[in-house]
Amino acid sequence: MKITRLTTFEVPPRWLFLKIETDDGIAGWGEPVVEGRATTVAACVEELSDYLIGCDPRNIEDLWQVMYRGGFYRGGPILMSAIAGIDQALWDIKGKASGMSVAQLLGGRLRDRIKVYSWIGGDRPADTAAAAQAAADRGFTAIKMNGTAELQIIDTWDRVQAALDRVAAVRDAVPTMGIAVDFHGRVHKPMAKALLKELEPYRLMFIEEPVLSEHLDSFLNPMINTATPIALGEWLYSRWDFKSILASGAVDIIQPDPSHAGGITETRKIATMAEAYDVAVALHCPLGPIALATCLQIDGCTYNAVIQEQSLGIHYNVGNDLLDYLTDRSVFDYAEAFVAIPSGPGLGIDVNEDYVRERTEQGHRWRNPIWRHEDGSIAEW
């Protein structure tokens, strides 16, 4: 079997899909995208195709190493996201060719389903409480919310109080709900210290990205003193990015994104490293259906996977939502706060290529908003 063609599709709301075709008619799909840079990643996929055309797609480990090491320079969001989507498509091909799901190829399923959480929005306490109640009514037992709007390096206490009021309202509305609070890299070390201390009584499921990963050296000591589990990892792209964080002992849950961190091949290895440190995995996935299918295949065979992010109905999904590009929308079987691990060959989904091509005509130019502080300086989003 030989790879004959790679084709990328920019589709709304903000995704990039990849189809890899072979000379025996089997095709695989991947989702190589980093949010806001879809066209750049598509160009990187096109450049990497020089290493792939004519090769046997089943030699995934060799092709991964060639893509990672062969270009001399390595790592970072663009290259590792391009490799990720290609790797996903190669696993999809290998699964379809063998009649096995990716989880089966990686050793076999050890769970049938995994718990998922829902994002909730809302700027005022009453809004977040209502959103959490609505998620509970839809069957979710865990939610994630943003901790704060923009925060200066040193900011005023009313901003901290507003964050506490939103979390308190959710805790009052749905007392048994698992609550994750995402600081989103918006919070700098001084305010992170304050927020972590004040949020501790609410017994959160975890706090995500308490500061940007690039500040890890400075935040490890203060963070390690909180009883709240600390999660991070969506800005980390390889085993080498994760190793010092795991060795530090300060992190409880890692969140690599299999569409950013080198695909199934690399994310599986990162998860195994975490298992050796008794650290849990909650794969990052605010993206599309191929990315979610990829996550679920990894979750299906990864012991320390605990919960899965997913984007159904997320506020970013304007125009198209998670299930729109699938032939069988029931493949992600949401029930009782869980999603089943798809059992079909490869990634276990059928992409509706006609609809993908139709929506590629519209494409997208998604960018995250640019926020500014009241003094005019740019704020982290």
Task: Tell me which stretch binds Mg ion (CB under 5 A): 37-45, 180-188, 194-202, 238-246.
Answer: 180-188
Across 311-331, b (16+ Cβ under 10 Å) vs e yields bbebeebeebbbbbbbeeeeb
For 150, what's the count of Cα atoms within 13 Å in the CB-facing half-sphere? 14
| Shortest Å distance, C-beta 42 to Mg ion | 24
> What are the tokens at 1?
């079997």
| Smallest separation (angstroms) from Mg ion to the CB of 234 | 5
* Smaller CB separation from Mg ion, 9 or 242: 242
- Closer residue to Mg ion, CB minimum distance, 113 or 188: 188
Specify the residue, 179 or 326, whose C-beta has the smaller distance to Mg ion: 179
State the catalytic residue, choosing from 188, 215, 260, 284: 284
Residue 215: active-site member: no
DSSP code string of 132-173: HHHHHHTT-SEEEEE--S---SS--HHHHHHHHHHHHHHHHH
Q: Of residues 35, 87, 92, 182, which one binds Mg ion by CB under 5 A?
A: 182
Q: What is the Cα–Cα distance from 290 to 326, expressed in whole angstroms? A: 9
Only one of the segments 76-84, 168-176, 182-190, 243-251 lies at the binding site for Mg ion (rule: CB under 5 A); that segment is: 182-190
Instruction: Please state the closest distance from residue 192 (CB atom) to Mg ion, in A.
Output: 14
Please tell me whether residue 35 binds Mg ion under the rule CB under 5 A. Answer: no
Distance CA 17, CA 215 (A): 32
Shortest approach of Mg ion to residue 23 CB, angstroms? 40
Q: Which of 184, 260, 364, 373 is catalytic?
A: 184
Specify the stretch interacting with Mg ion by CB under 5 A; choose among 91-99, 118-126, 152-160, 179-187.
Answer: 179-187
Which range touches Mg ion (CB under 5 A), out of 66-74, 132-140, 181-189, 308-316? 181-189
Tell me the C-alpha distance between 26 and 35, whole Å: 28
Q: How far apart are CA 224 and CA 288, in angstroms?
A: 34
Binding site for Mg ion (CB under 5 A): 182
Which residues are catalytically annotated? 184, 284
